[in-house]
Amino acid sequence: MHKFFYDKLYEHPWLKGFFEGIDQKVIEDQQTDFMTSNMGGGKVYSGGFPKNVHRHMFIPNELFDIRGKVLRESLQECGVSKELIERWLKIDGAFRHSIVKSDISQCEKQYKTDEIVNIPKPPGF
């Protein structure tokens, strides 16, 4: 399912900018482990907290909603049941407040080498 989802994100006119230079397979596996842990499948995820991982990315509410739509579509297309889709999106949405920022000034570098990531909405999108 995450291969499907990230194929879409890596092709999306706005979202793809965030994933430039990032290995798709690695992020798919991290996301799978993350959701497994969050859905009660035991502690398999070993990555960072979403708040830290996305600290330097300017992600406005609108973009979070767009990603949510792509996620819903991917789950539907993979034949996931309605109940599970709702449960999944609820868990995913619970991270909105720790990822979304209303202004670029709220972005912080986690590591010295981090760049603040600000991908403007493509014109006409």
Tell me the three state secondary structure of residue 117. strand
- The CB-of-60 to ligand HEM minimum distance in angstroms stands at 9
Contact flag: residue 12 with ligand HEM (CB under 6 A):
no
d(CA 105, CA 103): 5
Which of 24, 31, 36, 37 is in the footprint of ligand HEM by CB under 6 A? Answer: 31
Q: Is 2 exposed, middle or buried (0-12, 13-18, 19+ CB in 10 A)?
A: buried
Q: Which stretch binds ligand HEM (CB under 6 A): 23-31, 76-84, 101-109?
A: 23-31
Q: Give me the sign of the Cα torsion angle 46, 4, 25, 60.
A: negative
Binding site for ligand HEM (CB under 6 A): 15, 18-19, 22, 27, 30-31, 34, 47-48, 50, 53-54, 57, 59, 63-64, 67, 92, 95, 99
